[in-house]
Amino acid sequence: MTATHHYKSNLRDIYFNLFEVLEIQKRTFEHEPYAHLDEATTREILSRLDALCRTEIDASFVASDRVPLVLDGAGNVTLPEELKRSNAAYKESGFDKLDVPERLGGFGAPPSVSWAAFELVSGANPCVGYYAFGAVIARIIDRLGTESQKARYVKPMLEHGWGGSMVLTEPDAGSDVGAARAKARPVAGDVWEIEGVKRFITNGDFDGVDNIVHLVLARPEGAGPGTKGLSMFIVPKFWVNEDGSLGERNGAFVTNIEKKMGIKGSATCEMTFGERTPARGLLVGEVHRGIQQMFHVIEQARMGVGVKSVATLSTAYLHALAYTKERVQGPDLLRATDKTAPRIAIIGHADVRRMLMLQKCHAEGMRALALFTASIQDEVEIAGGHVAAEAKSLDALNDLLLPLVKGYCSEKAYEMLTLSLQCLGGSGYVQDYPIEQYVRDQKIDTLYEGTTHIQALDLLLRKVGRDGGATLGALLGRIGETLAKEEGGAALAVERQRLGRAVTELQAILAALMGKLGESLQHVGLQGNRVLAAVAETVIGWLLLRQAAVALGKRDAASEPDRNFYDGKVAACRFYCQNVLPSLELTQKLVEESSLELLSLPDDAF
């Protein structure tokens, strides 16, 4: 199969976010632990990674979809050769350790830079980004493990590029993690034996690495029910001796590969522990706090899913844009009855322009949301990390933003991809263009690492509910400051007015939902997704307004390509405020009039 270079990156917009709007060269690079970086170095890193992504990493995109994975009788998964070459190229480049701290042999990049880099990789081929998850697992062990566990795993994992996976889901439990039945039996010290079956495990096995380290949730003998009874264990494919060397094959085997709709090159596995031979693992740390520990991994994965959604929509939009500039069909609508009128490129048609701008403002708005969230993660680390008292409010803001990045971006990207495909007409539906694969690859993002409604419940019942809305109120306060400063001047007065109205409507939505909760918690079930979208769209409207204000300040002194870029920023803000933010008015009415009638309908009436 010949390599197909499909990926269209938007490095210009990534730079705009990082250096012109967020100004990480001042806010991040002037502080430890990131003072070893500067803007020029970061641009060079991202530029080199972008080139790698658009050549060697995206070269395996088609093969990942069309060359089946192979599972042998010994639980080993073989990847397509093209995908193995991309994995190797990523590993050899060293960019897979971009966010690994310098003390562990990595580059020590802040989250804002590492998530920008992950957008490039996941846009080129998300499977490659997933197979590099071992570095994340190593960092989690470094954070949570005992000194002995760190010495045994972290350095070998990073130096040799071992794989890694998070192992939660079980066939009968699904999203109800607390219903997990996998068992753990103590052997000696921190060594335990794991028994049970897990399902939908990304990176359960793959070739091209010497070892794969799984973080597994299981219930110790005698532990109570629910998530509180779970513990987390380090379970390697090959046992790791105390000196870090590899020992015998461990009893964690892949027993099936899921046949999937999309991202087929990413091995999604059923894993059976302790059936053929004992599956030994090490209890992470010194306490039984499995679900709290696993959330360090889950939150990383949720952020990654949201960023991957941004990447997929962005490249699809750029394909649609390029096609509409080339495809000539039909006359201008004003001359539709004139048989002699010249045919025009379809970007000249009003409906096509509407579809393009909807994609543009959502792709760029969601990128702004993801990188703003990443910049908050920068500030958390600068303040001393998640355990530091100085980082408490920042950490709470990051927690609030994560369900927006994961839940909203994954849903909206899937919706917008239908417009990307629509712009290509019938050509978009066939494999001559990559968008039909984008659509199939994207749908999973709304499902795993917590479905969209789980994200909505997390946002409303945990993130907003636990502090009485204080963190969300502080975020809305930031929006209020932008409005009070009249950023963008007279040129954005209408947009500020519309954003201000959206904030008022969002506050009314939240107040109405709180009132409904006095009747029944079921109203969150009925309206949660709408409220999640309302919060996300308000925040994105604010971020696009900030971008437009920056663009207006730079436009006149810019060269022509940059003037066009800045004009596009202003246009995206105006279109979003005019065409997206008004949806909050409808959401307000729907929440205010929320009824439980649907819940009393007999099942057979559906």
Q: Which residues are catalytic?
A: 449
Q: What is the total residue count of the chain? A: 606
Q: How far is CA 560 from CA 63, 357, 554, 557, in A?
A: 39, 21, 12, 10
Asked whether 548 and 495 are in contact (CB, 8 A), the reply is yes
Opening angle at CA 402, ends 400 and 406, nearest 5: 140
DSSP string, 539-589: HHHHHHHHHHHHHHHHHTTS-HHHHHHHHHHHHHHHHHHHHTTTHHHHHHH
Count of Cβ atoms closer than 10 Å to residue 328 Cβ = 11
CA dist 374 → 11, 379, 402 (Å): 17, 9, 10
3-state helix, strand, coil in the chain (%, to 5): 60, 10, 25
**SS3 at position 49:** helix
Q: Take residue 136 and report the two structure tokens written for it.
A: 């994340």
3-state secondary structure of 77: strand
CA pair distance 285, 149, nearest whole angstrom: 8
Q: How far apart are CA 546 and CA 483, in angstroms?
A: 10
Beta-carbon-side half-sphere exposure of residue 239 (alpha carbons within 13 Å): 15
Question: Max CA-CA distance within the chain?
Answer: 87
Whose structure tokens read 């947009």? 495
- Whole-Å CA distances, 463 to 300, 303, 402, 472: 17, 16, 10, 8
Opening angle at CA 539, ends 534 and 542, nearest 5: 130
**Helix or strand run (H / E) with residue 405:** none
Radius of gyration of the chain (CA): 25
Task: Quote the CA–CA distance of 500 and 488 in Å, as a whole number.
Answer: 14
Backbone angles phi and psi of 288, in degrees to 5: -95, 85
Q: Cα torsion for 304, 310, 315, 317, to the nearest 10°?
A: 160
Helix, strand, or coil (residue 189)? coil
Specify whether the backbone of 384 is left (phi greater than 0), alpha (psi in -120 to 50) or beta.
left
Tell me the residue type at 486: E
